[in-house]
Structure 1
Amino acid sequence: MPDLWMPGATRLDVGDHAPTDGGPAKAIAHITWDRNASVAAPKDLVPYETLVNYFGRNSAGRAAAPHLLWDPFTGRFTQFVPADSRSKSLADQAGGTRTNRAGKVVLQIEALFFPYCRVGGKVYPRLVDTPCKGWDRLNAWTRSWGVPDSWPMGRPTDFRSRRDNDTWRTAPGWYAHAHVPENDHQDPGSWPAFPAPKPSTTPPTSTPRPQYEPFPGASFFTAGRRSPIVLAMRKRLIAEGCNRYQSSSNPDVWGSGDKASYAAWQRKLGYSGADADGVPGSTSWARLRVPNV
């Protein structure tokens, strides 16, 4: 079973766990949007600890705590509810479309960010402009829960809303807060691209060597041909009682003794006349079962 608590995340369980409804696994992308800033008037990013305290210890914050708070500048994570519980980060109207529970998991991610936040003297207009530290680990965890690397309503690139109830109910994947039915938020505005799959460390499977030597073709068997195949064939002919060799010298060189011995093998198989001329054919060769060399 995947980890209920993301490996490496600080655990600050706010309780109030409740099951989800089952169905397509989803992850929801939010930004905290704690301050309103602009290109002309950027503002300092709210400290990470302030959001941890709000979601983890403030009664109003606990009621809306996501699964994870993510700091894309440092790669820190704090988790407030386990993966198999719903959180309450989405608006969910009574009697309407299910939101927080609408899937096997509905993993809610709050990125610590607002447009034109300032960190270390630098201004960041979009979330994707940040270092996005830890995104690869976050993505690996959501993927382990069956959330595919896809955006059924499109990867967010601006703050426009797009909501479709049928897609929401039936399609697994990542959704912007701006994609969720019954919600009026327009965040996150952008989100990092999915990490490229890591190359497999499993060595390629090599084709096993055949047990027996494949037929090399009749043209292979010419006077003076030196090969370990000739020697392996010779041993098999002797083992089959077809030894017509007059000499033990150069046992790996095709010669008259090999031709006479192979003709004896062909006759043993029932061949006669021109079919027992001592030149190997594919059928008689297969039946001789010369070990692969």
Structure 2
Amino acid sequence: MADLWMPGAERLDIRDHAPTDGGPAKAVAHITWDKNATEAKPQALVPYDRLRTYFTGGGKGVAPHVLWDPFDGKICQFVPATSRSKSLADEAGGTRTNRAGSVVLQIEALFFPWCVVGGKAYESLQDTPCEGWDALHAWVKSWGVPDVWPLGRPTDFSSHRDEEVWRSRAGWYAHAQVPENTHQDPGSWPRFPQDDGGGEGDARGGAGKTYEPFPGAAWFTAGRRSAIVARMHDRLVAVGCDRYRSSTGKDTLGSGDIASYEAWQRKYSADHGKGWTGSAVTWPPGKETWDALKVPEK
């Protein structure tokens, strides 16, 4: 039998319990998003203890099941698995959110984009050490939540909501995918341990390799700095589309990336008999060529 309280997690029961409705088992991925930092102005991560105190005090009314610190693996649980928690907006008379399943396990990762920990700034949650994720995932899975993202694994801060999917399908959902909610987090989320390719919306390689999902055309803005850009650079060189003048600042999108990727699009079109011309072979990248490039995940 699955544990009501996650083994190894600190238990701080806020004693505000209520049953769920039954139905497909779900987990909802959130980030705390305590500050609005930027690449130009990163900010120190809010201390874990501050959020822990908040959810047991003035923030009881929006408490999740679990607060998770992905930098050192600390985990605190506020309500048992079979109770609803309150991290989702839930309008009276509308679609059920906090109660819409046999469990609706809500996980708040202590994170915001461009937070600083140990002198390093982190753009996305998946770039953090993700300490404690394996154990947290195993506990969620023990409650029947399958390793799938019915509306796609989150890769950006855009909203993708579908009320029918939410009502009918088990799995993991981003806060940005839940009906009646306006938040756009978490932006990214770590892959499932020993992912077998079943996580819908995930790009997947053979022989145990995983590849970066297509982040969307809007992600490819000049000056964006990311480890994904550096790995894209390496793949473009590997497939013979090197139009770079140097490797300086290869984690920052620039003219060399544009020229090299356009060369890749032309090569892909020719190799696969696509006959693409015009915008089909110009910047920004599209999903088909991105998936074919096989940019490895970190």
Give the TM-score category using the shorter length. Answer: 0.5 to 0.7
Distance 1:85 1:92 in 2: 15
Alignment of 1:200-215 (within 5 A): none
Equivalent in the alignment of 2:96: 98
Aligned to 1:230: none
In the alignment, the residues of structure 1 paired with residue 130 and residue 195 of structure 2 have an alpha-carbon distance, to the nearest angstrom, of: 17
1:87 to 85, 100, 108: 85
Q: 1:162 — aligned with what? A: 160
Q: TM-score, with normalisation over the residues of structure 1? A: 0.66
3-state SS of the aligned residue for 1:28?
A: strand
Over the aligned positions, Cα root-mean-square deviation in angstroms equals 1.0
Moved >4 Å (runs of 4+): none
Taking the aligned partners of 1:186 and 1:145, their CA distance within structure 2 comes to 26
Cα distance in 1 for residues equivalent to 2:166 and 2:92: 17
Note the alpha carbon deviations across 1:232-288, whole angstroms, 9 max, x for none. xxxxxxxxxxxxxxxxxxxxxxxxxxxxxxxxxxxxxxxxxxxxxxxxxxxxxxxxx
Superimposed CA distance per residue, residues 69-126 of structure 1 (whole angstroms, 9 cap, x where no aligned partner)? 0000001100000000000100000000000000000000000000000001000000
Report how far residue 16 of structure 1 moved.
1.2
Cα distance in 2 for partners of 1:88, 1:45 equals 23
Aligned to 1:284: none
Structure 1 residue 107 and structure 2 residue 105: aligned?
yes
Matching residue of 2:42: 42
CA distance, structure 2, for counterparts of residue 16 and residue 37 of structure 1 = 33
Asked whether 1:187 is paired with 2:185, we answer yes
Bigger radius of gyration = 1
Q: Secondary structure at the match of 2:55?
A: helix
Partner of 2:172, secondary structure, is strand
Question: What is the SS of the residue equivalent to 1:190?
Answer: coil
CA distance in 1, matches of 2:169, 2:123: 30
The number of residue pairs the alignment matches comes to 196
- Distance in 2 between residues matched to 1:62 and 1:95, nearest whole Å: 23
Letter in 2 for 1:31: I
Identity of aligned residues (%): 71
Question: Which runs of 5 or more structure 2 residues have no equivalent in the other structure?
Answer: 197-298
Point out where structure 1 has 5 or more consecutive residues left out of the alignment.
199-293
- The separation in 2 between residues aligned to 1:7 and 1:76, in whole angstroms, is 12
Q: TM-score, normalised by structure 2?
A: 0.65
User: 2:76 corresponds to which residue?
Assistant: 78
Change in Cα spacing, 1:165 to 1:15, as seen in structure 2 (3 Å) is same
Query: Aligned-pair distance for 1:156?
Result: 0.1
Of 47, 62, 65, the match for 2:63:
65
Q: Deviations over 1:186-230 (max 9, x none)?
A: 0000000000069xxxxxxxxxxxxxxxxxxxxxxxxxxxxxxxx
* 1:4 aligned partner: 4
